[in-house]
Amino acid sequence: MHDIIIIGGGAAGLSAAKEAYDPGLKILIIEREAQLGGILRQCIHNGFGIHKYNLELTGPEYAQKTHHLLEGLNIEVLMHSTVVDIIKDDHFELTIMNPTDGEFKLTAKAIIIASGCYEKTRSQILLPGDRPAGIMSAGNAQRYLNLDGYMVGKKVFILGSGDIGLIMARRMTLEGAEVLGVAELMPYSNGLTRNIAQCLDDFDIPLYLSHTITDIVGKDRLENIVISEVDHAFNSIPGTEKTFEVDTLLLSVGLVPDIQMFESLQFHTSPLPGRSSISIFKPRSMDALRAAMLYTFMTLLTGSVKKVKKPDDMQKCMLKMSSNPPPLNRWNPVKTSAMSCLNALIMKIKMRPFSFH
């Protein structure tokens, strides 16, 4: 039986492990990939750690620095392993799979889910048109390019002006692709202004605000996309169509927390579709540790900076939260860039171990 099992060995999981660490606790991190660091490993651009380390690091450097904080601490790590189910009884029972041991179970008094986000797909934003190859999420393209070494396209268009999209516009351009433009549904960009400057303006890549894709044409590989201007109700305006001949479309249209695992744990879930599903334990089943855990989870989602030190505070905090769910706009995937999201995760997790009953 572990005291704490942390699901996910990325920025949030590693930071959570460090904050939760106590020599008397048996802590395990479960990571599905071959290395720790999560998405930071593919974010090869610099700009990480300005607040935390007062340094301008690349993603892999930030991951390594965070990993080094755990050196010498007695924290177990289980690599190549995926959690496929969680059951909550007196304790948590996790069903885990990996290539060497197959399926097996581990138990823990507490779990921290730090499994990150997944990117919204084409079907989640209901893009019309054909379904050829060459349409993928910007983060996927980033992984293919930066870790796997595949150039995903030569003539590229990007939908969504979130930071991943902007970073990929520059990255693809530097690698020799032609990025014809970035379309953004909103009248403003969701990315950092400095990313507009250094990723688009530096390379003369046009940004089409209040535009969206209204048609996709391609038999096997993507051939054309059509973008149209939208009015204030986001309806496309006829006569404003522009056609771009491209072989690749990258989608940078938002992130959704990967918290499917919570579904078996009896939560109240936010009814807002496609957004962060903020889940809350039923108050009667709370003890200090669960509250602490949940607080960490809530903090992951909401980016709340409130520090709660005593179990009593936790209880109060919990009761307050459960009777009055936090405003969802604090963690708005549309407005939160991947980078600032990661930074928020890293900076704002504050969990201390409590005595176990």
Partner 1 sequence: MSVKSMICIVCPVGCHIDVDEQSLEVTGNRCPRGAVYGKKELTDPRRMLTTTVIINSHLQRRLPVKTTDDIPKGLLFKAMEEINKITVKVPVQSGDILLKNLLNTGVDIVSTMSLEI
For partner 1, the binding residues (CB under 8 A) are: 34-35, 41, 44-47, 50, 56, 58-61, 64, 145-149, 171, 174-176, 192-194, 196-198, 201-202, 339-340
Q: CB-based contacts of 176: which residues, under 8 Å, 6+ apart?
A: 151, 154
| 149 vs 238 by CB, closer to partner 1 | 149
Q: Which is nearer to partner 1, 213 or 346 (CB)?
A: 346
Nearest-approach distance from CB 201 to partner 1, in angstroms: 8
Least Å from the CB of residue 119 to partner 1: 20
Q: Which is nearer to partner 1, 152 or 192 (CB)?
A: 192
Closest by Cα among 311, 312, 316, 305 to 283: 316
- Cβ burial of 134 (10 Å; 0-12, 13-18, 19+) is buried
Choice between 169 and 291, CB closer to partner 1: 169
Closest to partner 1 by CB, 113 vs 200, is: 200
Least distance CB 93 / partner 1 (angstroms):
31
Q: Least distance in Å: CB of 33 to partner 1?
A: 9
Nearer to partner 1, 59 or 116 (CB): 59
Q: C-beta of 148: minimal distance to partner 1 in Å?
A: 6
**In sequence order, which residues have a C-beta less than 8 Å from that of residue 182 and are 6 or more positions away?**
157, 158, 159, 160, 161, 165, 166, 169, 200, 205, 206, 207, 208
3-state secondary structure 3-64: EEEEECCCHHHHHHHHHHCCCCCCEEEECCCCCCCHHHHHCCCEEECCCCCCCCEEHHHHHH
Nearer to partner 1, 2 or 171 (CB): 171
| b/e burial code for range 153-180 (CB count within 10 A of at least 16 → b) | bebbbbbbbbbbbbbbbbbbbeeebebb
CB nearer to partner 1: give 121 or 340. 340
- Looking at the Cβ atoms of 210 and 343, the one nearer to partner 1 is 343
Q: Which residues pair with 46 in a beta bridge?
A: 58
* C-alpha 46, offset from chain centre: 18
Give the three-class secondary structure for 357. coil
CB of 194 to partner 1, least distance (A): 4
> Smallest distance, Å, CB 21 to partner 1?
23
Encoded tokens for 307:
């520090």
Half-sphere exposure of 311 (CA within 13 A, CB side): 10
Other residues' Cβ atoms within 10 Å of the Cβ of residue 74: 12
Nearest approach in angstroms of CB 78 to partner 1 is 17
**Least distance in Å: CB of 149 to partner 1?**
4
Q: Which of 185, 125, 142, 190 is nearest to 163 (CA)?
A: 190
Residue 5's φ and ψ, nearest 5 degrees, are -115, 130
